[in-house]
C-alpha cells in the first residue's frame, strides 16, 4: 500500500493543531472578553449594539423604537406583555417599564436608565456616531457612556435572571425612559411616569446613573456612589440694538458688549461651599491623593477653615474637583447678527449653571447680573430648576456596593459623591424614592455629550457584571 510522505514541518503543524483541539475539548478556557464572548456577555453586547444603532437624539430621534426593541427581547425571553410595557406620551417617545416578579417579601427595587442621547453630527465625529464600533479596546458610539451601556446591562441582566430561574425577595423593575437630556427637564420620561403610572415604578429605592469607577493610569482607585446632585438653571443672555450699515460701525456693537460680559463671567469663580456629601467625599478622597493635593483636600474639610482664604490652587485646577467645590456657570452656545454687511441687531448666549444643593436659585441670577456688569445685557432664566434633597445613605445599599466592589476591584474604597451633572434621580428623590447613582463603569476620561464618545470594552463588560451581582444581592432571594 502506498503511504504518502509528509514533510516534517507539515507533520509538526498537524500535530500542533490536533493537540490544540484536544486541549480545548478537555479544558475549555474562558475566552478573552473582546472575542469571542461568553453567552451572557454576547447578549449584553447584542443589546448594546442594537440600542446604539437606533438614533434616539432627544429632539429628532425615536426612543419609542428603542423601547419597543427592548420589550420585544424581553417578551421573547418569556416576560408577559404586562411585565414588558412600552408607554408612549407622544409620537416617537417611548418609556419601557419591565418587571421581574419576586416573592413580594420586600418592596421593589427600581433600575433607571435613559434611552435618549444628545445630538451627534457625523461631520464632527471620526466615525458614524450611530454605529457601534469596537476599536483599540473601546466601544465607540453616541450613548456608549451616557446612558445606553447601563440600559443594555439592565435588560441583559433581567433576561439572565429569568433564564437562571432567580426568584428575588422583591420585584426588580427596570424603567428605560425618554427625554432625560432635555435642558428644561423631563416632562415625558420619569416625571410623566410618576404622574401617570406611579404604581408601575413604586419602589423602596432606585439605582441610576451618576457615578462610576474612577481610574488613574489604567487602574481603578475608587468607586463612587452618587447620593446628591447639583441642580441645573439655564439662562439666556441677550443684547439688542437697531443695527445699521456695517460701513459706519459704532462702539456699542451688541456682539462686543456681550463678548466683554462673557469674558468677565469666564474669569469669575463662585465661592467655595461644602455640604455633607462633598465634605465626606474630600475626606475620603484625600487618602488616595499625593501629599500636596491631600493637604488641600483636608484643609477644605476642616470645620475651622476660612474657605475663602484657603490656597487650594491644585485642587481647583482640576475641573472635576473644582466642580465639587462650587456652583459653576458656563457659556455653551453663542449667536449674533443677521447679515455679513450689517451691524448686528442682536447677540445672544446660552449659559448653563450647575448649582450646589441648598444654594438659593435666585442668587445665581443676581450673581450673573453683577458679574456681567452691563445693563444692556438682559439675563433671562429659562424654566424652573428641579430641586431635591440628598438621599440618605441606605445601609443595605452601601454594604452591597462595598461587597461587590471588593469582589471586582479588591482594595478600592466606596465613596459617596455629589454629581456635578443633573440626572432624573432628582425627580425620584422628590417623589420619596431614594436614588443612588452607581454604574460600575470604569473610566479616566469624560466623553459623554462630546466627540467620539466611547467606553472601554473591558469596562462595559465589568460594569454589566457589577450591576448583575449588585442588583441580585439587593433583591435577595427565597
Contacts with 316 (C-beta within 8 Å, 6 or more apart), sequence order: 269, 322, 325
For residue 440, CA distances in Å to 181, 213, 223, 230, 320 come to: 21, 6, 7, 21, 19
Distance of CA 113 to the CA centre of its chain: 9
Contacts with 428 (C-beta within 8 Å, 6 or more apart), sequence order: 110, 112, 190, 194, 206, 208, 434, 435
Grid coordinates of 357: 444643593
> Could you tell me the fold of the domain covering 231-382?
Alpha-Beta Plaits (3.30.70)
Domain 39-210+423-475 homologous superfamily, CATH: Zn peptidases (3.40.630.10)
Contacts with 159 (C-beta within 8 Å, 6 or more apart), sequence order: 43, 73, 74, 77
Contacts with 232 (C-beta within 8 Å, 6 or more apart), sequence order: 183, 185, 352, 353, 354, 355, 385, 386, 422
Give the tens place of pLDDT for each residue, 270-298. Answer: 999 998 899 999 999 999 999 999 999 99
Domain ranges of the chain: 39-210+423-475, 231-382
- pLDDT value of position 305: 75
Give the tens place of pLDDT for each residue, 394-453. Answer: 899 999 999 999 999 999 999 999 998 889 999 999 999 999 999 999 999 989 999 999
- pLDDT value of position 477: 75
CB neighbours of residue 201 within 10 Å: 23
Provide the 3-class DSSP secondary structure of residue 67.
helix
Task: Identify each DSSP E strand in 115-264 by its residue range.
Answer: 133-135, 138-140, 172-177, 205-208, 213-216, 219-229, 231-240, 244-245
Contacts with 3 (C-beta within 8 Å, 6 or more apart), sequence order: none
- pLDDT value of position 478: 56
Counting as low any pLDDT under 70, the low residues of the chain are 1-37, 183-186, 478
Grid coordinates of 344: 448686528
Handedness of CA 406, 411, 415, 421 (dihedral sign): negative
Grid coordinates of 268: 469669575
Separation CA 421–CA 323 (nearest Å): 9
The number of residues in the chain equals 478
Contacts with 29 (C-beta within 8 Å, 6 or more apart), sequence order: none
Whether 39-210+423-475 and 231-382 share one fold: the answer is no
Q: Please name the helix (run of DSSP H) or strand (run of DSSP E) that holds residue 373, with its range, or none.
A: none
- pLDDT value of position 422: 84
DSSP state of 454: E
Separation CA 344–CA 371 (nearest Å): 24
Please choose, from the candidates 423, 337, 368, 388, the residue with its C-alpha nearest in 3D space to the C-alpha of residue 234. Answer: 368
Grid coordinates of 435: 436614588
Amino acid at each position: 500500500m502506498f503511504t504518502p510522505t509528509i514533510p516534517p514541518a507539515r507533520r509538526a503543524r498537524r500535530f500542533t493543531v490536533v493537540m490544540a483541539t484536544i486541549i480545548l475539548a478537555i479544558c475549555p478556557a474562558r475566552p478573552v472578553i473582546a472575542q469571542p464572548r461568553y453567552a451572557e456577555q454576547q447578549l449584553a453586547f447584542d443589546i448594546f449594539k442594537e440600542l446604539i444603532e437606533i438614533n434616539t437624539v432627544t429632539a429628532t430621534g425615536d426612543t419609542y423604537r428603542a423601547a419597543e426593541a427592548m420589550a420585544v427581547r424581553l417578551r421573547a425571553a418569556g416576560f408577559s406583555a404586562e411585565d414588558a410595557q412600552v408607554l408612549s406620551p407622544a409620537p416617537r417617545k417611548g418609556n419601557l417599564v419591565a418587571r421581574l416578579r419576586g416573592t413580594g417579601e420586600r418592596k421593589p427595587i427600581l433600575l433607571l436608565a435613559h434611552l435618549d442621547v444628545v445630538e451627534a453630527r457625523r461631520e464632527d465625529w471620526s466615525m458614524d456616531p450611530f454605529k457601534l464600533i469596537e476599536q483599540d479596546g473601546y466601544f465607540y458610539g453616541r450613548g456608549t457612556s451616557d446612558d445606553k451601556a447601563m440600559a443594555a446591562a439592565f435588560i441583559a441582566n433581567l433576561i439572565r435572571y429569568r433564564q437562571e430561574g432567580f426568584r428575588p425577595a422583591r420585584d426588580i423593575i427596570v424603567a428605560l425612559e425618554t427625554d432625560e437630556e432635555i435642558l428644561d427637564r423631563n416632562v415625558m420620561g420619569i416625571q410623566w411616569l410618576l404622574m401617570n403610572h406611579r404604581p408601575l415604578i413604586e419602589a423602596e429605592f432606585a439605582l441610576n446613573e451618576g457615578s462610576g469607577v474612577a481610574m488613574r493610569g489604567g487602574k481603578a482607585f475608587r468607586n463612587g456612589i452618587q447620593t446628591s446632585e447639583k441642580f441645573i438653571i439655564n439662562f439666556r443672555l441677550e443684547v439688542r440694538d437697531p443695527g445699521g450699515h456695517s460701513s459706519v460701525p459704532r462702539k456699542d456693537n451688541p456682539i462686543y458688549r456681550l463678548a466683554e460680559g462673557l469674558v468677565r463671567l469666564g474669569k469669575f469663580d463662585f465661592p467655595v461651599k461644602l455640604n455633607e456629601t462633598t465634605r465626606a467625599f474630600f475626606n475620603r478622597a484625600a487618602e488616595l491623593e499625593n501629599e500636596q493635593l491631600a493637604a488641600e483636600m483636608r484643609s477644605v474639610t476642616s470645620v475651622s477653615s476660612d474657605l475663602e482664604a484657603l490656597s487650594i490652587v491644585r485642587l481647583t485646577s482640576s475641573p472635576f474637583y473644582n466642580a465639587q467645590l462650587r456652583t459653576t456657570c458656563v457659556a455653551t452656545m453663542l449667536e449674533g447678527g443677521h447679515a455679513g454687511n450689517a451691524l448686528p441687531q442682536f447677540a445672544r448666549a446660552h449659559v448653563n449653571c450647575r448649582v450646589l444643593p441648598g444654594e438659593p436659585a435666585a442668587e445665581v441670577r443676581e450673581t450673573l447680573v453683577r458679574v456681567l456688569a452691563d445693563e444692556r445685557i438682559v439675563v433671562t432664566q429659562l424654566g424652573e430648576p428641579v430641586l431635591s434633597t440628598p438621599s440618605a445613605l441606605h445601609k443595605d445599599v452601601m454594604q452591597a456596593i462595598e461587597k461587590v466592589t471588593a469582589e471586582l476591584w479588591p482594595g478600592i474604597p466606596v465613596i459617596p459623591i455629589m454629581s456635578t451633572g443633573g440626572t432624573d434621580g432628582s425627580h425620584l428623590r422628590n417623589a420619596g424614592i431614594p436614588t443612588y447613582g452607581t454604574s460600575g463603569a470604569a473610566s479616566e476620561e469624560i466623553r459623554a455629550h462630546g466627540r467620539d464618545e466611547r467606553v472601554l470594552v473591558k469596562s462595559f463588560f465589568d460594569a454589566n457584571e457589577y450591576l448583575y451581582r449588585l442588583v441580585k444581592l439587593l433583591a435577595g432571594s427565597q
